[in-house]
Amino acid sequence: MRFDIVTLFPDCFSSVLSSGLLGKALAKQIAQVHLVNPRDFTTDKHRKVDDEPYGGGVGMLMKPEPIFAAVESLPTLPRREVILMSPQGQTINQPLLRELATNYDQLVVICGHYEGVDDRVLHLVTREVSLGDFILTGGEIPSMALINGVVRLLPGTVGKVESIKSESFEEGLLDYPQYTRPANFRGWQVPEVLLSGNHAEIARWRHSQQIKRTGDRRPDLLEKWQQEQGSRGVGEMGEMGEK
């Protein structure tokens, strides 16, 4: 997959793109990330990328011309999405990441700054995406989260595919508690079932813990999961209560 990131601050991506699984995936060419600075497409001597909003108001807006020129300079792959990182967009979640990882070969990501972008930039955009209901100084951090979330779903990034399938949100529930050695740490004991070697019992315990943890921490997700499961969801809750 190809990522084209339109950003005024390309240097802030250096560490993120060279570290951990993401860095390894890029080194293996599982994905490519290209950084393009709209300031390089300005035509005035001051390389101006922002201006005051018409009608007055606080702050500055990113001008449309450099953004259009930057995006139009990029190659176009057949399955392409042009994304504007914006607090007004669709909130990033696991289904969205799966959709992007599965259905597209190229993601062009525009990082806004200042008070946002000239609204005519939306003529370029096929989707607006948000990291959450809060405001940051720019779209770089949200775009890093998007890249990370999508790349880790691409084949070859994560060694064991099963580890992705069992993660939080993949089946509509949060992940179950996990433990490693030592079995007893400062009096906190690993649950006996995990030491039993009984894989069927371990699977049942983990699933019941997913339901319990989701109910405790994200009741909204549990309600949605129950609706999707129908009568089976009610049965699972009853089984959990008996444990």
pLDDT tens profile 32-78: 999 999 999 999 999 999 999 999 988 999 999 999 999 999 999 99
Please give the single-letter amino acid code of residue 128: E
In contact, 4 and 106? CB cutoff 8 Å: yes
Say how far apart CA 83 and CA 118 lie, in whole Å.
Answer: 15
Q: What's the whole-number mean pLDDT along residues 156-163?
A: 72
Cα gap 82→24, rounded to integer Å: 25
Q: Omega into 182 within 30° of 0, i.e. cis?
A: yes
CATH class of domain segment(s) 2-151: alpha beta
35 close to 5: Cβ distance less than 8 angstroms: yes
Question: Percent of the chain, pLDDT > 90?
Answer: 84
Q: 3-state DSSP call for residue 138?
A: strand
Q: Which of 185, 184, 203 is nearest to 194 (CA)?
A: 203
Confidence label for 171 from pLDDT (cuts 50, 70 and 90): confident
Q: Which of 132, 126, 53 is nearest to 86 (CA)?
A: 132
Q: What CATH superfamily is the domain 173-242? A: tRNA(m1g37)methyltransferase, domain 2 (1.10.1270.20)
Q: Is 159 helix (H, G, I), strand (E, B) or coil?
A: coil
Q: Six-digit token pair at 203?
A: 């699977």
pLDDT digits (tens, 9 = 90+) for 11-43: 999 999 999 999 999 999 999 999 999 999 999
pLDDT score of 46: 93
The angle at the Cα of 169, spanning 100 to 161, to the nearest 5 degrees, equals 70
Q: Which pLDDT belongs to residue 125?
A: 98
Q: Is the pLDDT of residue 214 over 80?
A: yes
φ, ψ (nearest 5 deg) of residue 158: -100, 130
SS3 state of residue 29: coil
Residue 234 has pLDDT above 50, yes or no: no
Answer whether residue 243 shows pLDDT above 90: no
pLDDT (mean) for 178-203: 95
What would the two tokens of residue 194 be?
A: 């995990």
Residue found by looking up tokens 């669709």 in the block: 90
Residues of the chain with CATH 3.40.1280.10: 2-151
State the Cα torsion 136-137-139-143 to the nearest 10°.
-60
pLDDT digit string, tens, across residues 99-157: 999 999 999 999 999 889 999 999 999 999 999 999 999 999 999 999 999 999 999 99
Q: Cβ contacts of residue 242 below 8 Å, gap of 6+? A: none
Instruction: State the span(s) of the chain assigned CATH 1.10.1270.20.
Output: 173-242
Give the Å distances, CA to CA, from 40 to 33, 107, 114, 122: 18, 20, 18, 21
Residue whose C-alpha is closest to residue 66's, from 51, 46, 48, 85 = 48
Instruction: Determine the pLDDT at residue 233.
Output: 47
